[in-house]
Each structure stands twice: as C-alpha cells, then as structure tokens.
Amino acid sequence: MYITHLEIDNFKSFARKTKIPFFEGFTVISGPNGSGKSNIIDSILFVLALSGARGLRAEKLTDLINVNTGKNTAEVGVTFSDGTTIRRRIKRTPAGYYSYNYLNGRLCKQGDVIEFLAKLGVKPEGYNVVMQGDITRIMEMSDGERRKIIDEIAGVAEFDSKREQALSE
C-alpha cells in the first residue's frame, strides 16, 4: 500500500488547493530552497496525526494556516492505493481552534486514523520520516542511541517495553 496523492489547501505555503501525485516505490520532489518541499512532508505528518505542531516546524497548530490568504482553515487530504482517503482540517475561531478528521469522507476521531495506520504498521511514535539534519544526528550519536533507533524501526523496541512492563508488574 502506498500514498497515491495528496490534496493540500491553504496549509503553510500552499495558498491554493494543490494536488500532489506520488508513485509506487520512489517519488522525488525537487525545488529551490523555501519552495515548500518540507511543507509537503509536514502536510503528511499533519493529516496522519504523526506529529504535533513542533514536529511540523510550527509553534502552534494554527500557524499551519497560510498567512497570506486570510482564510481561517487549512486542510490536507491523503489518498492510499486501496482508495482510502483521510482528511484533516483545522479551523481558527476567536475562541480557539478546532481540528476535524475524516475517514473516507466521514467525520471520525483522530484515534480512528491512528488505528487505521497502526494496521499498516505506521505508528505515531515510530521513526516514519527522516527529517533534514537527521542523518548527521544519527552519525554523531552514540552506539547505544543508534541501536535504539534501529530497534524502533525493526519493531523490537515495542517488545522491549512490553517486557519491561511485564517484569515490573
């Protein structure tokens, strides 16, 4: 299963509704500095609830709304190769902000999105994206720290924490 396309609307630098296709296997996005490449990754992490505002390089969620259009909502939709679509919309109001999640067009809880992804082996606490600067960080960390990341990717870490929990009970 893979992502076939994204629809980004008023999210970060994407002021106009933009459809971005992805291909099975490997897709490369290139462009000048500041043109919005990383914002595309941020949009995926946002719609799939894989990161909070900080991980999306924003202080708060409402900073994800495009600053130039004057609109109060930002929306991202992701479609998978099995036809499943997940959408997330944030809306700014004078009283705060609201976040809405949709699974195949129906309003759902964020937990439903997390559950859908967990079935595909994608977890919010997992190492899903290699961010800018990560390679340098991984090279510079200690063997023990690097081992932790490999355990996480290999799916061993989950059993380690379950074992620790069992031993402490």
Residue 37 or 92 with smaller CB distance to Mg ion = 37
Angstrom distance (rounded) from CA 18 to CA 62: 19
Candidates 17-25, 32-40, 88-96, 137-145 — which segment interacts with ligand ATP by CB under 6 A? 32-40
Regarding 12 and contact with ligand ATP (CB under 6 A), the answer is yes
Candidates 27-35, 90-98, 102-110, 147-155 — which segment interacts with ligand ATP by CB under 6 A? 27-35
Candidate list 3, 7, 9, 39; residue touching ligand ATP; CB under 6 A: 39
Q: Which of 8, 6, 9, 7 lies closest to 72 in space, CA to CA?
A: 9
In the list Mg ion, ligand ATP, none, the entry touching 67 (Cβ below 5 to 8 angstroms by class) is: ligand ATP
Which residues contact Mg ion (rule: CB under 5 A)? 37-38
Q: Which of 62, 19, 54, 60 lies closest to 40 in space, CA to CA?
A: 19
Q: Which of 137, 77, 148, 149 lies closest to 113 in space, CA to CA?
A: 77
CB of 35 vs Mg ion, minimal distance in Å: 9
Task: Please answer whether residues 86 and 102 qualify as being in contact, where contact means their C-beta atoms are separated by less than 8 angstroms.
Answer: yes
Chain position carrying tokens 């379950």: 162
- The DSSP output letter for 56 is G
Regarding 104 and contact with ligand ATP (CB under 6 A), the answer is no
Regarding 36 and contact with ligand ATP (CB under 6 A), the answer is yes
* Both structure tokens of 155: 């799916």
In the list ligand ATP, Mg ion, none, the entry touching 39 (Cβ below 5 to 8 angstroms by class) is: ligand ATP
Regarding 43 and contact with ligand ATP (CB under 6 A), the answer is no
The strand order across the sheet containing 18-21 reads 18-21, 3-9, 73-80, 85-93, 96-103, 106-108
Read off φ and ψ for residue 10, nearest 5 degrees: 65, 20
Regarding 13 and contact with ligand ATP (CB under 6 A), the answer is yes
Question: Contact positions toward ligand ATP, by CB under 6 A?
Answer: 12-13, 31, 33-39, 63, 65-68, 132
Give binding residues for ATP as ranges.
32-39
